Amino acid sequence: MNERKVRYLIVGGGLAGASAAQAIRRRDANGSILILTDEPHHPYDRPPLTKALWLQGKPPEYVFLHEREFYERKVIDIRTGTRAVGIDPVNRVVTDTHCRQFLYDKLLLATGGAPRRLDAQGGGAEGVCHYRTLDDYLATRLLARPGRSALVVGGGFIGSELAAALASKEVDVTMAFTSPYLCSHVFPEPLGRALQARFREHGVRILTRDTPVALSHGRGRYSVATKGGRRLDTDMVLVGVGIDPEVSLAQTAGLAARDGVEVDEYLQTSAPDIYAAGDNCSFPSLPWGRRRRIEHWDNAAEQGRVAGENMAGGHENYSHLPFFFSDLFDFGYEAVGEVDTQHDTFCDWEVENKVGAVYYLKDRRVRGVMLCGIYGRMEDARRLILKGERVSPSSLRGAISSSRSFSA
pLDDT computed for residue 352 by the predictor? 62
Note the pLDDT of residue 401: 77
Reported confidence tier of residue 353, pLDDT bands at 50, 70, 90: low
Which neighbouring-strand residues pair with 237?
151
Question: What does DSSP say about strands 355-362 and 344-350: parallel, antiparallel, or unpaired?
Answer: antiparallel
Instruction: Determine contact, residues 159/152, Cβ cutoff 8 Å.
Output: yes
At 217-245, the pLDDT tens digits run 998 899 999 999 999 999 999 999 999 99
Q: Is 306 helix (H, G, I), strand (E, B) or coil?
A: helix
pTM for the structure as a whole: 0.93
Q: What is the pLDDT of residue 402?
A: 61
Q: Which domains does the chain have, with CATH numbers?
A: 3-114+243-311 (3.50.50.60), 129-239 (3.50.50.60), 330-396 (3.30.390.30)
Q: What tens digit of pLDDT does each residue of 61-120 get?
A: 999 999 999 999 999 999 999 999 999 999 999 999 999 999 999 999 999 999 999 999
Provide the pLDDT confidence category of residue 41 given band limits of 50, 70 and 90. very high
Q: Is the pLDDT of residue 191 over 80?
A: yes
Question: What are the tens digits of pLDDT across the range 284-318?
Answer: 987 777 899 999 999 999 999 999 999 999 999 99
Mean of all residue pLDDT scores within the chain: 94
Looking at residue 403, its pLDDT comes to 46
Whether 407 shows a pLDDT value over 70: the answer reads no
Q: Give the C-alpha separation, 126 to 121, whole Å.
A: 13
CA neighbor of 92 nearest in space, from 238, 266, 271: 271
The shares of helix, strand and coil residues in the chain, as percent rounded to the nearest 5, are 25, 35, 45
Q: Give percent of the chain above pLDDT 90.
A: 90
Is a pLDDT exceeding 60 seen at residue 1? no
Q: What is the pLDDT of residue 219?
A: 87
Query: pLDDT category, 341, cuts 50, 70, 90?
Result: very high
CB burial of 318-329 (b: ≥16 within 10 Å; e: otherwise) equals: bebbbbbbbbbb
More confident residue, 258 or 288: 258
